[in-house]
Amino acid sequence: MGGNTPCASCKLLRRRCAKECIFAPYFPPEDPHKFAIVHKVFGASNVSKMLQDLPVHQRADAVSSLVYEANARMRDPVYGCVGAISYLQHQVSQLQMQLAVAQAEILCFQMQQQDSSSPSMAQKECSHKSSL
């Protein structure tokens, strides 16, 4: 941040925004809510330590993920981001079950094609598998 405009974090914390302020590149003054939410959940000093421990080229992504998690925690104070992960993992389980059923159907068709000499046996197996 150049000139006299403090970044969102220094504005909120009511301090002078130094030239080398670690927050300034990621918390512009135009979006005060972004820092407010991260500060509320993680605390400014924890965020500062986390960013200091990271190489510069990874800090933007780190801030984005912290903002995402802070928002998730504000929306769901009990489960936060973990709630979203549980929901997604449930989706994965459902999809994997559907995939298993579909793969079984494909096998059935393939068996039918291979076993063209005894179509009655293949049809019986197919109807059995479909009823699973």
- Judged by the rule CB under 8 A, the positions of this chain that interact with other proteins are 40-43, 45-46, 50, 53-54, 58, 61-62, 64-66, 68-69, 73, 77-85, 88-89, 91-92, 95-96, 98-99, 101-103, 105-106, 109, 112, 126, 130
Place of tokens 């802070």: 70
Q: At closest approach, how far in Å is the CB of 31 from other proteins?
A: 16
- Catalogue the long-range contacts made by 12-15 (C-beta closer than 8 Å, 24 or more residues apart): 12/36, 12/39, 13/44
Residue owning tokens 């699973």: 132
Residue with smaller CB distance to other proteins, 5 or 64:
64
* In the complex, minimum distance from the CB of residue 5 to other proteins, in angstroms, rounded to a whole number: 27
Of 15 and 76, which has the nearer Cβ to other proteins?
76
Q: How far is the CB of 53 from other proteins (least distance, A)?
A: 6
Using DSSP's 3-state secondary structure scheme, residue 60 falls into helix
| C-alpha torsion 111→117→119→121, nearest 10 | -70
